Chains A and B, each alone.
Chain A
Amino acid sequence: MEPDRDDDALLLAAADDPEAFACFYRRHVGGVVAYFRRRTGDAESAADLTAETFAAALAGRRRYAPERGPAVAWLYGIARRQLVTLQRRGHVERRARQKMGMARIELTDEMLERVEALADAASANVEVALAELPADQRTAVRARVLDDYGYDEIAAAHGVSEPTARQRVSRGLAALRARLRSQEP
């Protein structure tokens, strides 16, 4: 892990540095697996969607622009699109993995058990950490990262300025990161 580098810096560095991308992946793979498992109710689909999401993130890493929002929101934007594709087509997309020359991982029962365990642990950790945030930061982080609302919409809904909405998201994410890191063994 690279505790001193925030996600945005990691993802920018990941354009040329495989270690930086691996670190970004390690930080978020649990959360992404938990997100998909919760939405699909199925560990195998969750694993498949996670692989496609990170392959798409790897393929598109040079397009990430921090001025448009936090790296984690960018990642979950990719994840949401994978879900929409699954819903529309009835199967998990494989385009990004094919593009990057990545084979589909054949999941054994043992691997699926680990995926379930990872999803449970990440889910519990995030919920606990989120619950500890102040309400204004919690709702702002959920609205921006999980529900993909724009800063202007969050600002309008909460009756605050757009910079304030950005600040709430940014502070909420920083606090969330700090709490999640303190839970690491």
Chain B
Amino acid sequence: MTDFVDVLEQQLRDAHGRRARPVPPWRAGIVLVAAAAAAAVIVALVVGLASPRTQQPPAQQQTTPPVTTPVKPVAPTHLAILNGTTITGLARAAADTLVANGYSEPNVVMNDTTNQHRKHSEVFYEAGYRNEAFSVADCLHIRFDRVHEMTPDARALADRANIAVFVGADQPR
């Protein structure tokens, strides 16, 4: 049976002795000019997109060990869990999962009165909480592409939370 792992290993073995492909000479000039312009852009981006982790260091270690998957939140995180379905208890179950994984009890656990027909769960985060938002999504098995920056609508429902989880019908009951 052809196995992805074996095929990739063979490719890597074959490529090991290979030199990385050089930039074609006709592109070298373009690259130099573009590099100068890109440098300014990169500096601006680096300054503008300061890493969330530099703003939010990991939290103090808790004395109570996690119950299940030992994912520990790495910043003081205020959570809001909103049930975006008509299925009773989904938000509570998600909150319990997070607490079992070392998070503090969410500040808000309530229904999302604006949308009760969510199929998929989503996570919204304030600036500086991106990594934590991914950890929350990880705990709840929410896909990474459903993790977004906080929107005004999400903010309005999330109260003062820096991470808001909108629970959809994909969450276990």
Contact bitstring B61-95, A, C-beta under 8 A = 1, else 0? 10001000111101000000000000000000000
Which stretch, B14-22, B110-118, B156-164, touches the partner chain A? B14-22
Candidate in B1, B5, B18, B138 with the most chain A CB atoms within 10 angstroms: B5
Candidate in A40, A147, A150 with the most chain B CB atoms within 10 angstroms: A147
Chain A, Cβ-Cβ closest to B13: A18
Which stretch, A21-29, A65-73, A176-184, touches the partner chain B? A21-29
A154 to B75, CA, bound (A): 11
- Beyond A22-B13, A58-B16, is A142–B71 a contact (Cβ under 8 Å)? yes
Contact bitstring B1-36, A, C-beta under 8 A = 1, else 0? 111110111011111111011000000000000000
A135 near B65 with CB under 8 A, answer yes
B144 near A18 with CB under 8 A, answer no
B70 near A138 with CB under 8 A, answer yes
Main SS class of interface, A: helix
A112 to B145, CA, bound (A): 21
The interface residues of chain A lying within 8 Å CB-to-CB of B20 are 59, 99-100
A126-164 CB contacts (< 8 Å) to partner B: 127, 130-131, 135-136, 138-139, 142-143, 147-150, 153-154, 156-159
- A118: Cβ under 8 A from any B Cβ: yes
The interface residues of chain B lying within 8 Å CB-to-CB of A51 are 8, 11
B: interface residue count bin: 35 or more
Chain A, Cβ-Cβ closest to B58: A157
- A81: Cβ under 8 A from any B Cβ: no
A105 near B8 with CB under 8 A, answer yes
The interface residues of chain A lying within 8 Å CB-to-CB of B17 are 18
The interface residues of chain B lying within 8 Å CB-to-CB of A158 are 58, 60-61
- Beyond A110-B2, A148-B53, A156-B57, is A102–B15 a contact (Cβ under 8 Å)? yes
- Where the two chains meet, the residues of A that have a C-beta atom closer than 8 Å to any C-beta of B are 18, 21-22, 25-26, 29, 38-41, 47, 50-51, 54-55, 58-59, 83, 87, 98-103, 105, 107-108, 110-112, 114-115, 118, 127, 130-131, 135-136, 138-139, 142-143, 147-150, 153-154, 156-159
9 smallest A-B Cβ distances: which pairs?
A: A157-B58, A18-B16, A100-B15, A41-B143, A39-B144, A111-B4, A99-B20, A153-B57, A102-B11
